[in-house]
A and B are shown apart, each in its own frame.
Chain A
Amino acid sequence: MISVAGSLLIGLIVGFLGQRSRMCFVGGFRDFLMIGDKDLLKGVIAFFASAWLTIWILSIVGKLLPELYSIINVKYVMYPSFLSVFLSKFMIVSLIGGLGLGLFSTLAGGCPLRQHVMAGQGRIDSIVYLLGFYIGIIIYYVSTVKFIALII
């Protein structure tokens, strides 16, 4: 029950700040390539740096207070090393997925977070985008996932 309230609170903060600051994760690199504007790129780098710093601080606090370690430690899954996954199947799937994500998000005008914020502002084209987004989830699990299981 606390996860519902917490996620709603995070969504409210992200929506509020995202509308005031015009922030977009795909737009960071897109603006840098098209116009040379580094304003959104600084936001993406600040997000990455803040997340990385928070993980580091929490792991240090977890080592200093061992009785709280199971609650505070956020990084509990051991990922495989970089070279051992170098040419595996999921790496190629990740490359292709990222490519499609970047290409179609730029053509649509923003990453999905920005489209949610623009739909809240009242833009009709983002509301139609969101309709396609949610219907696409259902279409993926009805038919496309069996199609992909044949290829991979």
Chain B
Amino acid sequence: MELKKGYTIVYSSIFFGIIVGSLAVLAQPIFKIHPPQAYGICTICHARDFLNWFSERLFSFKFESAEVSIHYPLATTIGIIIGSILSSKLNGEFKFIKVENLVIKFFLGLAVSHFGLLIMSCPTRLVLRFAFGDPFALFAIIGLLSGITFGVMILKRL
């Protein structure tokens, strides 16, 4: 599933879907990430657990955490950033690119984390929960698709 494009090697997105989809489910029996179900991969939930682990020990301010990361935190988000740095350095695509609208991006990050914590999942985990058969994930995906439609309508008018 490797396609050579010039001098870089690009993987197809179907290859990503097959590998990450099965790995996210196999993480439950193999790596024991299991008291919350369907918890193999999620950016917002693991980030919240990671911050909660540090904040409880440094500032004794404890908010919510899943059962699996009470003793040791889950390091998924750090792994994603490190894996991406590694891959882009090997590719030659690592470059600091500066764009305008930085203040808008900051507030968009704020808003996405609020809505994600409201339903306790990010868009990746929604598809995983839907594969596990959660009925609330179906309603959240319907909301996600309509939200994307509104976003595309706004972007086309700009």
Contact = CB atoms under 8 A, between A and B. Distances in A.
Chain B's interface size range is 35 or more
Contacts of A23: 13, 16-17
Main secondary structure of the interface of A (DSSP, over half): helix
Contacts of A134: 47, 51, 113
Contacts of B116: 97, 101, 112
Nearest to A85: B135
Interface residues of A, number: 106
A50 B21 contact: yes
A21 B84 CA distance: 11
A73 to B, nearest CB: 8
B30 to A, nearest CB: 7
A103 B87 CA distance: 29
Given A8-B75, A34-B156, A51-B24, 10 more contacts: A11-B75, A43-B12, A44-B17, A72-B29, A95-B140, A98-B143, A106-B148, A132-B109, A132-B110, A140-B113
Interface of A: 1-23, 25-26, 29-30, 33-34, 39-40, 42-55, 58, 71-72, 74-77, 79-82, 85, 90-91, 93-108, 111-113, 115-126, 128-141, 144, 148
